[in-house]
């Protein structure tokens, strides 16, 4: 486990040195699912379809989707069957 965490730290440090890493954190198990009109239903969760689990998040600075995908080339959890979902953040000007 310690060796695997070393891979994580190295991966994050590589992104950080390149000026691409903004933030990221693992998520704790559990939580709540708020749904329905006006958030009227609150149940234990989170609920996902099948075996997919969101275990954490990273926010990176990429020039485009291709660059963001390339950053995932050496993602440490691939060896455990992990996957990365790459999404673009919509900026809202206020």
Answer whether residue 69 is part of any domain.
yes
pTM: 0.78
Tell me how far apart the alpha carbons of residues 13 and 76 are, in angstroms, rounded to a whole number: 13
The b-or-e profile of 47-82 (16+ CB within 10 A means b, else e) is eeeeeeeeeeebebeeeeeeebeebeeeebeeeeee
Q: Which tokens sit at 74? A: 């050496």
Answer whether residue 53 is part of any domain.
yes
pLDDT at 35 (0 to 100): 82
Answer whether residue 90 is part of any domain.
no
Tell me how far apart the alpha carbons of residues 85 and 2 are, in angstroms, rounded to a whole number: 25
48 vs 18, higher pLDDT: 18
Answer whether residue 93 is part of any domain.
no
Answer whether residue 34 is part of any domain.
yes
86, 65 Cβ separation under 8 angstroms: yes
Answer whether residue 92 is part of any domain.
no
pLDDT at 18 (0 to 100): 97
Q: 3-state class of 72 per DSSP?
A: coil
Answer whether residue 17 is part of any domain.
yes
Instruction: Tell me the residue range of the domain where 12 lies.
Output: 2-80
Answer whether residue 76 is part of any domain.
yes
Please write the tens of the pLDDT for every residue from 1-16: 889 999 999 999 999 9
Please write the tens of the pLDDT for every residue from 20-79: 999 999 999 888 888 888 767 777 776 656 566 788 999 999 999 999 999 999 999 999
CATH number of the domain within which 63 lies: 3.30.70.1060
């Amino acid at each position: 486990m310690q060796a695997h965490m070393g891979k994580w730290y190295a991966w994050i440090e590589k992104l950080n040195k390149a000026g691409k890493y903004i933030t990221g954190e693992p998520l704790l198990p559990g939580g709540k699912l708020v749904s329905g009109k006006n958030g009227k239903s609150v149940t234990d969760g989170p609920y996902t379809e099948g075996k997919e689990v969101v275990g954490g998040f990273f926010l990176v600075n990429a020039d485009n989707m291709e660059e963001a995908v390339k950053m995932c080339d050496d993602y440490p959890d691939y060896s455990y069957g992990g996957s990365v979902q790459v999404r673009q953040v919509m900026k809202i000007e206020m």
